[in-house]
C-alpha cells in the first residue's frame, strides 16, 4: 500500500523565556517516526501534552520541525508546503477557529475561496457539507450564536469542504453530543471508502478502537507503541481481563479475591440480582481456580477471559508509567 503520511525522526522543540530571561525548552516531539498507508484511519493516541496536536500541526504545515523529515502525499511539509496544503484539510476540536460574526454559510464560503473552489462548485459543496453535518437550517445564523456542538459540526464541515485526500482530525468529536459524535463516526468509513486517508487523534478509546485501522500511542513526544488495535492490545497491554457473572457477592468474597496474588484491580457492577466482576490481572497469571473457589461454583453463571479493550490497554500502559 502507498504511504501517504510519513514522519521520520521528527523533533519539535518549543523555546520560551521566563520573566528573568532564562531560556526554557520543551521537547514536544522527540524523533517521532511512523508511516500511514493510503486509505486508512490512523489513530494517534496519548495523554494531554503527549505531542498529538504538535504532530498534526507539523503535518498540516503549521509548524516547522527542528529536525527530521515529514512528508504528506509525497511532499515535504517544509519545502513543499504549498503542495501539501492542496491535499489536506484540518479539523480541530474546540470553539476557536471560526469567524463568530459571520454565519455558518459565510464561514464556509470564505474557506471555499481560500481553497480556490470555483463559484458553482463552492455553492454546491457548501450546501452538501452543511447537510452532511446537519447545519442546513442554522446556516444563516451567526456562528457566535452556535452551541459548542454546532461549532464543532461546522469545523467538520469546513474540513470536508474542499474534498481533500488527507484529513487531519484533532479530537473531532470533542463537544459533540452522542448523536453528533455517532454521526461523525459513521461518516469516517464513508470517507475511507472514497479513498481518503484520515489521521485521527482522540481521547475516546472506544472511538479509536472502532475507527482506526492502525494506531500509534505517543507519550512525552515519543511513539511508544504502534500497530493495529488488536496488535496493540496483545503486545502492549500489561493486563489480562477476566469477567465473572454471579448471583451473590459479599465483602468477604471481594476481600478474598483482592488478596489473590496477581490481581491488580476488581470492578463490580450490578444489574438487579446479577453481578458482574471485571478482574484485571497481570498477563499470564492463572487465577480461575481460586476465583471459582472463593465465589463458589453454583453461584457463578459464567466466567470468561478476554483480551483487554483498547481503553484498558491504554490505562495499563499509562498507569504503569506514572
Residues that bind other proteins (CB under 8 A): 12, 14-15, 57, 60-64, 82, 85-86, 88, 90, 92, 94, 96-102, 106-107, 109-119, 158
**H or E segment and range at residue 189:** helix 178-193
In order of 47, 105, 118, 134, 228, the CA distances from 211 in angstroms are: 19, 29, 33, 21, 11
- The minimum distance between CB 110 and other proteins, in angstroms, equals 4
- The minimum distance between CB 201 and other proteins, in angstroms, equals 15
Which residue lies nearer to other proteins by CB, 76 or 106?
Answer: 106
Beta-bridge partners for 107: none
- The minimum distance between CB 297 and other proteins, in angstroms, equals 59
- The minimum distance between CB 136 and other proteins, in angstroms, equals 20
CA atoms within 13 A on the CB side of 296: 8
- The minimum distance between CB 56 and other proteins, in angstroms, equals 10
Which residue lies nearer to other proteins by CB, 39 or 93?
Answer: 93
Which residue lies nearer to other proteins by CB, 113 or 285?
Answer: 113
Which residue lies nearer to other proteins by CB, 142 or 149?
Answer: 142
Going by C-alpha positions, the residue among 190, 215, 167, 162 that lies closest to residue 44 is 215
Going by C-beta distance under 8 Å and a sequence separation of 6 or more, which residues neighbour residue 315? none
CA angle 192, 188, 310 (to 5 degrees): 105
Which residue lies nearer to other proteins by CB, 84 or 223?
Answer: 84
Amino acid at each position: 500500500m502507498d504511504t501517504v503520511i510519513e514522519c521520520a525522526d521528527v523533533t519539535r522543540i518549543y523555546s520560551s523565556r521566563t520573566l528573568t530571561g532564562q531560556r526554557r525548552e520543551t521537547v514536544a516531539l522527540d524523533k517521532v517516526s511512523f508511516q500511514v498507508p493510503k486509505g486508512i484511519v490512523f489513530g494517534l493516541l496519548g495523554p494531554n501534552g503527549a505531542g498529538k496536536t504538535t504532530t498534526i500541526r507539523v503535518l498540516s504545515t503549521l509548524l516547522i520541525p527542528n529536525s527530521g523529515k515529514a512528508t504528506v502525499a509525497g511532499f515535504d511539509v517544509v519545502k513543499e508546503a504549498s503542495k501539501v496544503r492542496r491535499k489536506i484539510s484540518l479539523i480541530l476540536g474546540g470553539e476557536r477557529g471560526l469567524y463568530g460574526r459571520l454565519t455558518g454559510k459565510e464561514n464556509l464560503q470564505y474557506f471555499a475561496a481560500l481553497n480556490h473552489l470555483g463559484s458553482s462548485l463552492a455553492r454546491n459543496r457548501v450546501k452538501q457539507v452543511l447537510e452532511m453535518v446537519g447545519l442546513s437550517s442554522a446556516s444563516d445564523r451567526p456562528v457566535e450564536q452556535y452551541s459548542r456542538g454546532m461549532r464543532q459540526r461546522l469545523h467538520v464541515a469546513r474540513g470536508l469542504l474542499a474534498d481533500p485526500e488527507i484529513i487531519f482530525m484533532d479530537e473531532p468529536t470533542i463537544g459533540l453530543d452522542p448523536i453528533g459524535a455517532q454521526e461523525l463516526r459513521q461518516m469516517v468509513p464513508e470517507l475511507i471508502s472514497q479513498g481518503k486517508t484520515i489521521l485521527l487523534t482522540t481521547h475516546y478509546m472506544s472511538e479509536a478502537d472502532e475507527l482506526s485501522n492502525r494506531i500509534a500511542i505517543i507519550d512525552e513526544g515519543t511513539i511508544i507503541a504502534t500497530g493495529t488495535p488488536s496488535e496493540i492490545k496483545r503486545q502492549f497491554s500489561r493486563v489480562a481481563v477476566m469477567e465473572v457473572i454471579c448471583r451473590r457477592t459479599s465483602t468477604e468474597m471481594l476481600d478474598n479475591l483482592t488478596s489473590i496474588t496477581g490481581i491488580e484491580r476488581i470492578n463490580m457492577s450490578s444489574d438487579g440480582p446479577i453481578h458482574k466482576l471485571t478482574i484485571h490481572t497481570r498477563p499470564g497469571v492463572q487465577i480461575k481456580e481460586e476465583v471459582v473457589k472463593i465465589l463458589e461454583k453454583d453461584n457463578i453463571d459464567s466466567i470468561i477471559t478476554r483480551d483487554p479493550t483498547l481503553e484498558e490497554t491504554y490505562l495499563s500502559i499509562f498507569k504503569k508509567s506514572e
